[in-house]
Structures are given as structure tokens and as C-alpha cells.
Amino acid sequence: MYINYLLEEVISRKGSDLHLIVDNIPTMRLNGKLIKLGLSSITKEEMMQYVKMLLRDNQQLIQKLSEEGEVDFAYMLKTKARFRVNIFKQKGCYSIALRFIQYEIPSMKALGLPYETLETLLENTGLILVTGPTGSGKSTTLASMVDYINGAKEKHILTLEEPVEFLHTSKKSILNQREIGVDCLNFASGVRAALREDPDVILLGEIRDLETMRIALLAAQTGHLVLSTLHTIGAQQTVERVIGMFPPHEQKQICVQFASVLKGIISQQLLESSDTLGREVAVELMINNDAIKNLIREGKVYQIYSVLQTSLGQGMLTMEESLIRLCKSNKITLDTARNYSLKNDILNRQMNLI
């Protein structure tokens, strides 16, 4: 049960991840930094024991791991916490990455997000994308959005996740949470089926392929609010990524469709706080107003950042403006801001450094 001890250590020290690798000391991620837990390296035999314990004789997961070399699922540590688990093969051995999932879902305000603008975006149908690198809190942001709708609106919310992470209970809304590989085959088939299940809100844990993107756009076009994530940084890069997923001969049509259904893009990064004791979120927020719609339709995506800069009064926010606000409130250092800025020249100019 040594692995449970390690997981309890992650919880007590408020870590985010635990990494188990053969011939390496167990390692925790805390505030973005990797910290060794203990002194002994994990042997190949110990790793096999950990894998067997986590899989719990689940033949479906065991078969998937054997055939595909990796598997995702959720693990419950007694009644204390849930972890998102990824077991994968490397160098002929197994490795394990476990992500801590809190039971309590934080509000958008508590996360430091522009919650008033986001609450407005969540009012109507369309597509909202939450983007950022791995470990930037995208799943937590999505969970906070769902929790807001759940507590404020009378809706049918359907989530499709791999695995189910945050557990929601119905409040004003009713909720169904489906797990990929357990309750449905894949994201694409799950969304396709969702269109026959009378949802108002559909959450997709991640848009991974072209087919899922097609159906997500269709769902948003047919009167649903669709929430999902992409691994991109910045609104402009996200729009480019979505359009670039489609074959060249379809892209002009997709620009028109995407412009009509997109509600907004929130791109976030987690940064080390200036006191090194926690993390702060920096956010770029694009609202799909008429100016943005025209740029997407006409394929002038490169001009999106300029519109963000001139639309701060409408609730939009550039990554640089978010970093500057964190810097001026002494929540992060200037070096941190520069490391995470998408446009350092603009950051320096606005900080009066050049």
C-alpha cells in the first residue's frame, strides 16, 4: 500500500501530480516544481505491484493497456480524494502519472478568472474553448463553469470525459457524466449520441481529432452550449489550430461556420507566485464580437490580437495585460511575466521598460 502513502503525501502537501518511474525516486509536482519523495528508487517488480493495485483486476483496462500501451482512468483513495491516472509503457517498463482531483469544485472567482464576463458568455448557446498547456488548470476551469450553470440554471448538462474527473451532483440542473471507454466508445460517438439525449450543455473533456471537432461545431450550431479544451496558448493560435484541423478545401467554409458558433476562448497559464508558495493564473480572454467574427470569416486571424488590445473595455483581455496586472500587484515577478508572455516586446513597452 506504499502508493497510497505517497498519494496521501501529495494531498497533505497540496501537490498536483505524482510520477512513478522505474529506477527513479517517486516524484511529486508542487507549485510547478518537481520534488523527490523518499530516498529509494522504484524497482520493476514494485512498479508491477502498483499497476496491479491501481487496475484492480479491471479486465477492460488491463486489455487496453496491453493492446495500446497506455490507459486512463480514475482512482479513488478511500474517501479522501480522486486521482486521474495514466499508466503507460516506456523502455519496456510501465510508468504512472497521477493527477490530484479535488472534491470541492472552486468557483470561477476563486480561481482568479474574469468570472463576470464568463458568466455572461455562459448564458447562451455556442462553443466556448478553454485552452492552455498541460497542467494549466483547464479541467478545473471547465468544472467551475459547469458548477456555475448547475447552481444557477435549470439545464440538462451532459459531460464526456476520459476519465470523469470532478464529480458533480445535480443542483438546479440535472447532470449526466459519461466516461469514455466505459459508458461510450469515444468522444465522437459520445457527442453524436448526445444530440439525441436532449442536453442543453455538452462538456467535452478534450477535442482530440477532426471528427470530434466536426461534431462539436454541429452541436454548437444546433442550439447547444458546448464547452471543451485544446492544448494551445492564446486565442489567435487556438483559432489557427481549429481551422488547420480541416483539409485545405474545407477551410473557407469552416471559417464561416466557426465564426458563427464560437462564443469565446479563454487561454490560461499557471505561474509561480512571487513568494514561491503558490501559483497564479494568467488569462487571455477573447469574446467573439462582430470584429472578431469578420476576421475569422475572412481568414485574417493574424489581426485578432490587435482587436483584443483595443477591446479591453468590452471584457476582453490579452495575456500581456493579465501578466502586467499580476506583476503590478506583486503576485508574480517580472522575470516570470517575461517567461510566460506571448509578446515580450508589448509586455516591456506597457511596463515602460523600453
pLDDT confidence of residue 74 = 92
Q: How far is Cα 320 from Cα 290, in angstroms, rounded to an integer?
A: 23
Please report the sign of the dihedral spanned by the C-alpha atoms of residue 90, residue 91, residue 93, residue 95.
negative
- CB count within 10 Å of CB 321 equals 20
Beta 93-101 vs 81-90: how paired, if at all?
antiparallel
Q: How far apart are CA 287 and CA 299, in angstroms?
A: 17
pTM: 0.91
Structural domains in the chain plus CATH codes: 2-101 (3.30.450.90), 115-350 (3.40.50.300)
The strand pairing partners of 99, in sequence order, are: 17, 84
How far apart are the C-alpha atoms of 265 and 292, rounded to whole Å? 11
First to last CA, the chain: 57
The alpha carbon of residue 291 and the mean position of all alpha carbons in its chain are separated, in whole angstroms, by 27
Q: Which strand ranges, in their side-by-side order, compose the sheet holding 262-272?
A: 174-179, 156-161, 201-204, 225-230, 126-131, 262-272, 279-287
Residues 6+ apart with CB under 8 A from 114: 283, 285, 315, 317
The per-residue pLDDT for 39 is 85
Total Cβ atoms within 10 A of residue 41: 12
User: What is the pLDDT, as a whole number, of residue 50?
Assistant: 95
H/E stretch holding 171 reads none
- Its sign, for the CA torsion 104, 110, 114, 119, is positive
Q: Is 29 left (phi over 0), alpha (psi -120 to 50) or beta?
A: beta
3-state SS of 69-121 is CEEEEEEEECCCEEEEEEEEEECCEEEEEEEEECCCCCCCCCCCCCHHHHHHH
Per-residue pLDDT 10s for the chain (354 aa) are 689 999 999 999 999 999 999 999 999 999 989 999 988 999 999 999 999 999 998 998 999 999 999 999 999 887 668 999 999 999 999 999 999 998 889 999 999 999 999 999 999 999 999 999 989 999 999 999 999 999 999 999 999 999 999 999 999 999 999 999 889 988 889 999 999 999 999 999 999 999 999 999 999 999 999 999 999 999 999 999 999 999 999 999 999 999 999 999 999 999 999 998 889 999 999 999 999 999 999 999 999 999 999 999 899 999 999 999 999 999 999 999 999 999 999 999 888 764
